[in-house]
């Protein structure tokens, strides 16, 4: 077994967070898992002595530094932070309110950033640490009806990548893990669905909504296998900046890369046409 680690995982009540916590505990690691209520905390702690629950909504930005400091003092150094807590908002953009967008970004982006900002002073001091941000294939490929969700995951992908460059010289590695469709509560109890209001989108969007509802619980991806892959990742001395999970994600991302490459070539002359005549510098 690799050296015993302390993992701090947000959102361990179900899905990826729960599976990763179970896999980590089985490997002999200690897991501080965040949940949103005392019943869920008891349920999590029943997994074993190494399972320590903390009640936290990741949008409670003021509570996050205090909770992380408590974990460092009472449990020990956070070796690995996994920003897993998140949900999917589904709705045609024009029909979906700005408040729904704010909530999506508060949870999926600001919550994850607040967690990273709280652990970093400790990790920097040790010149050691791992951060895993659960993004999504929706952080690279898009489809109608999940604009806010994709926007939030694109944001987290970009932040992860830039942050990884800032932290590598300090011995801290950041990986954005982008799953395809997995069998969790994501498209079931956790999804926020904006009611329909504009008939013009019926033909495009209604079949997408119906298909997602029908597929919930029958997705291709197995969260237990994803958990094993993530645990292996945190033991790898050279983790990637991005890791896709699932053959569906691989296929869709490859298709997008091909389409992007074709589009770049088609528009290359226009792209190049805007340079100045002198030798400017890149910034
Ligand atoms: P899940 O079973 O619904 O689990 C989501 C977890 O996040 C739950 O523990 C939930 O807690 C927690 N959570 C949600 N909002 C929170 C908040 N404001 N504060 C604290 N915790 C919160 O779904 P999942 O698929 O495992 O989702 C985990 C991550 O994977 C998400 O970031 C999701 O976007 C991402 N993802 C999922 C898929 C997929 O197909 N399943 C694909 C790509 C990416 P409660 O039980 O209290 O609600």
pLDDT tens per residue, range 138-186: 999 999 999 999 999 999 999 999 999 999 999 999 999 999 999 999 9
Q: Could you give all domains of the chain from N- to C-terminal order, each with its CATH number?
A: 6-272 (3.40.50.720)
Q: Is 41 near ligand 1, meaning CB less than 6 Å away?
A: no
Which residue is closest in CA terms to ligand 1's atom 43? 136
Predicted TM-score of the model (pTM) = 0.97
Q: How far is the CA of 282 from the centre of ligand 1 (A)?
A: 39
Rounded mean pLDDT, 242-267 = 98
Q: Give me the residue label for tokens 């993992």.
A: 7
Residue 139 pLDDT:
98
Catalytic residue status for 148:
no
Q: Do residues 35 and 53 lie in contact, with contact meaning Cβ atoms separated by under 8 Å?
A: yes
């Amino acid at each position: 077994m690799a050296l015993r680690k302390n993992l701090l995982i947000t959102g361990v009540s179900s899905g990826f967070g729960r599976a990763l916590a179970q896999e980590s505990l089985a490997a002999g690691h200690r897991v501080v898992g965040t949940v949103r209520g005392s019943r869920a905390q008891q349920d999590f702690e029943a997994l074993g002595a190494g399972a320590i629950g903390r009640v936290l909504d990741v949008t409670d930005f003021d509570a996050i530094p205090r909770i992380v400091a408590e974990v460092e003092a009472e449990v020990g150094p956070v070796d690995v932070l996994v920003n897993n807590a998140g949900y999917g908002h589904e709705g045609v953009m024009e029909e979906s309110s700005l408040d729904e967008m704010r909530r999506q970004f508060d949870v999926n982006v600001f919550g994850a950033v607040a967690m990273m900002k709280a652990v970093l002073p400790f990790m920097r001091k040790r010149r050691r640490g791992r951060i895993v941000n659960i993004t999504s294939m929706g952080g690279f490929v898009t489809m109608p009806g999940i604009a806010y969700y994709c926007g939030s995951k694109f944001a987290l992908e970009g932040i992860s990548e830039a942050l990884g460059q800032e932290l590598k010289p300090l011995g801290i590695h950041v990986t954005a893990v982008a799953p395809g469709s997995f069998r969790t509560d994501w498209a079931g109890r956790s999804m926020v669905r904006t009611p329909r209001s504009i008939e013009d989108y019926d033909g495009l969007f209604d079949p997408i909504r119906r298909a997602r509802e029908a597929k919930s619980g029958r997705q291709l991806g197995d969260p237990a296998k994803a958990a094993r892959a993530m645990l292996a990742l945190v033991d790898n001395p050279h983790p990637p900046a991005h890791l896709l999970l699932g053959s569906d994600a691989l296929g869709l991302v490859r298709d997008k890369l091909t389409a992007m490459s074709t589009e770049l070539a088609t528009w290359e002359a226009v792209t190049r046409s805007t340079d100045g005549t002198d030798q400017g510098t890149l910034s």
